[in-house]
Chains A and B, each alone.
Chain A
Amino acid sequence: MAAIIETSGLTRSYGDICALKPLDLCVPEGEWLTVMGHSGSGKSTLLNLLGGLDRPTGGSIQVRGTDLASLSEDGLARFRRDCVGIIFQQHHLIPYLTALENVMMSQYFHSVPDEAEARHALERVGLGHRLKNRPGELSGGEQQRVCIARAIINSPRLLLGDEPTGNLDHKSTTMVMELLRELRDEDRFSIVMVTHNQEVAAWGDRTIHMDDGCLVREERIKAC
């Protein structure tokens, strides 16, 4: 299967601190990869590099054949809106917009806001009845589902999750993970998800463990 992500000798340093030591990684199309590790192990740094939110200090990183290191600032913005959807731990919804409008905001940067499409995306994540509610009126699990709808609205081939269930209780975590699996099975996008939670990691196809900026262990959970 073709690789959606390929890194070779990928590093990221902040001054003297090396947050990510040379990393070779290959993620095939459609795979759900979970990245585990302690705080400061370099997993979020890796996720930021994969999402084009940060630039590597060394090595190469290719997502769907695009060398992210060679992209300009605007090129990276284009990459983020066309190729990836990101789900954050803190949800990061715009507080003055409704659930529907938060999803449409992502469409605005990508192409044109389409209310029907955005409504459909929210219905897919089970929030058809919460379209007009603002983030402050939604539970943590509901907010995270809005984030998922926002992340998938532009049909990205890669979904990145930075501890998406970190702030959720067990029930909400299960709901979100089931939802992600359903969506992944329908749309066949790849997922790279950072988590501390072993139970959450079990939802993926493969898990890599990181420590002190290095990939220390890899385990396959399911055949991709």
Chain B
Amino acid sequence: MNKRRWLAHIVFRALVHRRGRTLLLLAVLTLASSLATALGLVSASMRARVAEETRKYGANLVVVPESARVEVGSGGLHFGAIGEPAYLSQEQFLTALAKSGVKGDYSFHLEGALTLKGVEIPCEGVDFAQVRRLSPWWQVDGDWPREGEVLGGGDLTPRHHVHPGDLFEFGGGKGVVRTRVSGVVTTGGDEDDTLFIDLKELQEQMGRPGQVSEVRLLADPGNGSLKDQAALLQRHLSGAVVKELRQVGRTSEDLLGKVQLLMLLVTAVVLVTAGSSVAGTMSTTVLERGKEIGLMKAMGGSRWDLLKIFSAEALLLGVGAGVGGFLLGVVIAKFVAHSVFAADAALRLEFLPVAVGVSMLLALAGSVGPLLSVFRLDPVQSLRGE
């Protein structure tokens, strides 16, 4: 029998012989690693859940061109500043997005105006497919526009006696736009006072092909923060400003960060407690096995030989408890995620080595003190039972 197999054999026999203490150590280590696994899984599923919830609030970043400002005044008089409408190239934005590596969904917006029966109406050119993806809370009475159709805001349409299905001729910069109102949109925001038209149509009417006045972006921060994503995009986008559109995303991130910190602290406390428990149990085991250790030394076992035997016991316990802890942790995570977040915690196998690693580390850390005492044990005294 080779030495490695023999070592595994005697370690297994020793653990089985002291099955009470082995089970106690296994239970402590399993609970500790299961908690680490469960909190890790819950934390990961929380992040996914928060990201999913945040998505419902729409874009979290907005990109606007830096507007040209002209100071108005004469001599010592200062009348303030007037801003000229500024535009951003769609191509420039797409290039910057690709270079920055920021992932997410976006929609282009071009603000302008059309005339209806001599009255100027605020309108916005959009890609309806993009807007529909990015603004799931928009309620449309009627249908979303198809080609050649527009969408009227909920406050705008009654003022101009517009109803879904009506045909109109709007006056634009390049001529008349004949269109049909497919539906009326209600958002509870400024959009209710706007007429939404196909982006390319408005760009043509305004003589601004490929240009927009705003890009809304629903960035996926992944494991980073929204602020970092904004800064990343800003670095590749000169002549435009990237702003966080709303605080919801950031607040969610902050909250998530705090909850994760809390989980981390709880895990740390549990691991320290479990480590102490392991150290206590291992110390008792070493004391109980004093004669055995003395005998091994008397037989010619070096300190290294004994270190190998006791470390192997700790590691074997760690591996067993790690696998058990992972399985238990998955069950706990699923229960917590289901009962607290009404969601499912996905089984992530990458947590298995984490659980085993935590358990092994804990078993070894808890054994350091007892192992040092194994080193110092005097064979004569321990054989006498002193």
A residues within 8 Å of B by Cβ?
48, 51, 53-54, 73-74, 77-82, 86, 88, 90, 92, 94-97, 101, 104-106, 108-110, 112-115, 150
Contact = CB atoms under 8 A, between A and B. Distances in A.
A113 B309 CA distance: 15
Contacts of B6: 104, 108, 113
> Which of A90, A104, A108, A110 is packed against the most chain B CB atoms within 10 Å?
A108
Contacts of B17: 95-96
A198 B380 CA distance: 26
Given A96-B16, A96-B17, A105-B10, A113 B302 contact: no
B13 A112 contact: no
A115 B1 contact: yes
A101 B10 contact: yes
Nearest to A51: B298
Contact of A53 (B1, B3, B292, B379): B379
A77 B303 contact: yes
A74 B303 contact: yes
A81 B16 contact: no
Given A74-B302, A78-B300, A80-B300, A113 B3 contact: yes
B291 interface: yes
A51 B379 CA distance: 11
13 contacts: A53-B379, A74-B304, A77-B302, A77-B305, A78-B300, A80-B297, A82-B300, A90-B383, A104-B6, A108-B3, A108-B6, A108-B10, A113-B1
Contact of A77 (B10, B300, B383): B300
For A53, A82, A101, A112, the residue with the greatest tally of chain B CB atoms inside 10 Å of its CB is A53
B34 to A, nearest CB: 29
Please report whether the interface of chain B is mostly helix, strand, loop or mixed according to DSSP: helix
A78 B297 CA distance: 10
Contacts of A48: 380
A51 B380 CA distance: 10
Contacts of A95: 17
A62 B102 CA distance: 77
For B10, B291, B299, the residue with the greatest tally of chain A CB atoms inside 10 Å of its CB is B299
Contact of B299 (A80, A113, A115): A80
Interface in B210-260: none
Contact of B3 (A74, A106, A112, A150): A112
Contact of A78 (B302, B380, B383): B302
**5 tightest Cβ-Cβ pairs between the two chains A and B:** A81-B300, A96-B17, A80-B300, A77-B302, A109-B300
Contacts of A109: 296, 299-302, 305
A220 B13 CA distance: 47
Contacts of A108: 3, 6-7, 10
A105 B294 CA distance: 14
A154 to B, nearest CB: 8
Contact of B295 (A74, A78, A92, A114): A92
Interface string B1-30: 111001100100110110000000000000
Given A74-B304, A81-B300, A109-B302, 5 more contacts: A92-B298, A95-B17, A108-B7, A110-B300, A112-B1
A96 B13 contact: yes
Contacts of A51: 298
Contacts of B300: 77-82, 106, 109-110
